[in-house]
Structure 1
Amino acid sequence: MNRETPPTAALRPAPGPGQPTAAARHFGILLSATPRGARLARRLAAEELHRWGWPHGSEANRTATLLVAELATNAVRHGRVPGRDFRLRLTLQAGDPELLVEVTDASPGRPLPVPGAIPPPSAEGDGGRGLLLVEALSSRWGATGGDPYTKTVWCEVTLR
């Protein structure tokens, strides 16, 4: 698997919810830009948060995994390029309750989403609500296009 967790991180005990971490926590993985890859992103994020001290079923874990699911689904639906994967990264700095969620996809030429400028979804359609959920549930979010081949949509969520 393309997991990017340092091997020593798995050997340290995870702190309980609300307790400061001894060091920054990082998780990253490349996943196929398919519906299966999006589901796996959500499941892996939930498991990693559980290992970091926010158990399955806790509000923090549910909210963060919902945000991961929305960003990963958008990467698959709108940023998919055949043969290219998407990357999920989770970062939690020591002593900071803000979890940074980053999803990078291969979507050259597509406009970057802008916070506060997401159009309302169609009443008839069943889509178009993902970034509205991200905007509502995260403390802040945004998008960056660091190179002509990828874009990263990120959000921060407070884990309490």
Structure 2
Amino acid sequence: MSIWWSLQLRREASSVPLARRLLLGAMDTAGVDADISHELSVALSEACSNAVQHGGARSESYRVTASIDGDVCRIEVTDCGPGFPLGAVLPRPEPRELQPGGRGMRLIEALSDRVRFDNQPGSGAVVTFDKTLKWRDNARLKAS
């Protein structure tokens, strides 16, 4: 089975837990394993937080699109900010480093099977991450 959904959210801190709860509800309804759902929701929260913080003054909103195709969930968060610097290497903080910044992207990488940090044409960042799903025994949308 294949499903997808898309949300346009205001660039406000309150939108982050809303996006997370909507994803968790969809994953629970579909029958996705709770641990996988939790990992996806944390990664989504980090991507949404970045969109809220860096999404640019031109737009008051950002977009979240999620899909389940077979056993893979793909989530994409798009904003209208300045995007990622071209050719930039993302910071790699040391485990004990207490400086803020950069950890959210590393957390998304750690919780996902595949992640891409891109720019959309014009301007704006696009964070896309995939995760292979595990299903509960009573899953409604389990791939055949």
TM-based fold match above 0.5: yes
Identity percentage of aligned residues: 29
Contact 2:72 2:133 in 1 (8 A): yes
Counterpart amino acid of residue 91 in structure 2: P
Residue 116 (structure 2) aligns with: 142
TM-score calculated relative to the size of structure 2: 0.80
Partner of 2:73: helix, strand, or coil? strand
Q: How many residues align?
A: 132
Q: Distance in 2 between matches of 1:91 and 1:51?
A: 14
In the superposition, relative to structure 1, how do residues 112 and 52 fare at CA in structure 2: closer, same or farther (>3 Å)? farther
Residue 120 (structure 1) aligns with: 92
Partner of 2:99: helix, strand, or coil? coil
Counterpart amino acid of residue 118 in structure 1: L
Counterpart amino acid of residue 59 in structure 1: D
Residue 85 (structure 2) aligns with: 111
Q: Which runs of 5 or more structure 1 residues have no equivalent in the other structure?
A: 1-22
What are the equivalent positions in structure 2 for 1:9-88 lying under 5 Å apart?
23-54=1-32, 58-81=34-57, 83-88=59-64
Q: Which runs of 5 or more structure 2 residues have no equivalent in the other structure?
A: 135-144
Partner of 1:28: helix, strand, or coil? strand
In the superposition, relative to structure 1, how do residues 118 and 47 fare at CA in structure 2: closer, same or farther (>3 Å)? same
TM-score calculated relative to the size of structure 1: 0.73
Contact 2:84 2:119 in 1 (8 A): no
Residue 154 (1) aligns with residue 125 (2): no
